[in-house]
Amino acid sequence: MTTLTKQPGPGLSARGPQKSRKRGKPGADFRGTGDLRIALFFIAPAMLGFVLFYLVPTIRGIYLSFTEYSILGDPEWIGTRNYERIAKDPLFWNALGVTTQYVIINIALQTALALGIALLMHRVAKSTLIRGALLMPYLMANVIAALLWFWMLDYQIGIVNQLIEWLGLPRVAFFGSEQWAIPTQALINTWRHMGYTALLIFAGLQAIPNSVYEAASIDGSKAVSTFWRITLPLLRPVLVLVLVVTVIGSFQVFDTVAVTTAGGPVNATRVLQFYIYQRAFNEQDFGYGSALAVILFLILALVAFIQMKFLRGNQSDLD
């Protein structure tokens, strides 16, 4: 923004000498007016898409959150009443709690597993084949991952429950019990993202020069303390990126829930985005749905801001 407001001053003063240069040197005359006209040509389609499907909808979404709108007729302005209703809506607080639970399990499980896999790869094998195998789940649609595990985790004849029974443990109703439903959704997501996240961290590991490790081993540092004192701090930018992406992505969980449990059992998996979807599209309450979406948006912005600010994700310690 600062560059925008600063520009007119020097821009105007620069125009004078440029014009005179233009008269003197006809070969370079397209430089004189800047590239604005040609730039408009290049940017026009993207700009159209941006305005129509990002900018206007964002503004309209905020506007709709202050209205009562049931798709038929016109939106009716009701001020902040939607937000007041949300504050007293037990289903919203349930959705927020359930979603947060999902996000936390995801972060813990996914980051730990991915970090482990990345370290293993760094130590023993980095072939494209292995990386490809680990990446396969990530290439599948959420819907596919969900159905695959819906089958494997089936209570009656799913293979996982067979294995559990062989181990002498009681079967688990992964999707059917309120207690297990959210961890199960998080497990599906972890399975899908684990390899991908590992590759991201692995790329970060490879960016750490060998000389750093050599210096550490000369100083007598043991493997464990090298990991905590050198590897992990140097990985910080990558880990913060992974964390931000995981948290933002996890807060928007929808596909796997919609295909498997559809919010149930009871309200156990009625996550935020699924609740928004239900209010807006099943109950035709677009105003209320939009207000919920605004809140989700604010949560995500806040989380991203905090993570970047306090974990200094955009700075590297390698320089």
Q: Segment 204-263, which members bind another protein (CB under 8 A)?
A: 204, 237-238, 241, 248, 251-252, 254-255, 258-259
Interacting residue with another protein among 58, 70, 217, 284 (CB under 8 A): 58
Q: How far apart are CA 204 and CA 278, in angstroms?
A: 40
Contacts with another protein in 260-319 (CB under 8 A)?
273, 276-277, 280-281, 286, 289-290, 293-294, 296-297, 300-301, 304, 314, 316
Residues 6+ apart with CB under 8 A from 290: 61, 62, 64, 65, 67, 69, 82, 280
- Closer to another protein at the Cβ: 134 or 268? 134
Distance, C-alpha 286 to centroid of its chain:
24
Interacting residue with another protein among 86, 96, 199, 239 (CB under 8 A): 199
Can you read off the two tokens belonging to residue 210? 């060998």
Sort residue 72 into left (φ over 0), alpha (ψ -120 to 50) or beta: beta
Can you read off the two tokens belonging to residue 259? 């295909």
Interacting residue with another protein among 60, 229, 309, 312 (CB under 8 A): 60
Q: How many residues bind another protein (CB under 8 A)?
A: 103
Interacting residue with another protein among 14, 48, 232, 266 (CB under 8 A): 48
Q: Are strands 67-70 and 72-77 parallel, antiparallel or unpaired?
A: antiparallel
What contacts 24+ positions apart, CB below 8 Å, involve 222-231?
Answer: 227/119, 231/119, 231/205
- Closer to another protein at the Cβ: 64 or 186? 64
- Least gap, CB of 77 to another protein (angstroms): 16
115 binds another protein (CB under 8 A): no
78 binds another protein (CB under 8 A): no
107 binds another protein (CB under 8 A): no
Q: How far apart are CA 280 and CA 85, in angstroms?
A: 15
CA distances from 136 to 131, 141, 181, 193, 242 (A): 9, 11, 25, 10, 18
Residues 6+ apart with CB under 8 A from 247: 103, 107, 303, 304, 307
- Closer to another protein at the Cβ: 34 or 97? 34
- Least gap, CB of 123 to another protein (angstroms): 5
Which of the ranges 80-88, 100-108, 125-133, 210-218 carries the binding residues for another protein, by CB under 8 A? 125-133
Residues 6+ apart with CB under 8 A from 316: 236, 237
Contacts with another protein in 146-185 (CB under 8 A)?
147-152, 154, 156-159, 162
- Closer to another protein at the Cβ: 60 or 229? 60
Interacting residue with another protein among 42, 77, 93, 228 (CB under 8 A): 42
- Closer to another protein at the Cβ: 5 or 211? 5
Alpha-carbon radius of gyration of the chain: 26
Interacting residue with another protein among 14, 43, 212, 232 (CB under 8 A): 43
Type of residue found at 100? T
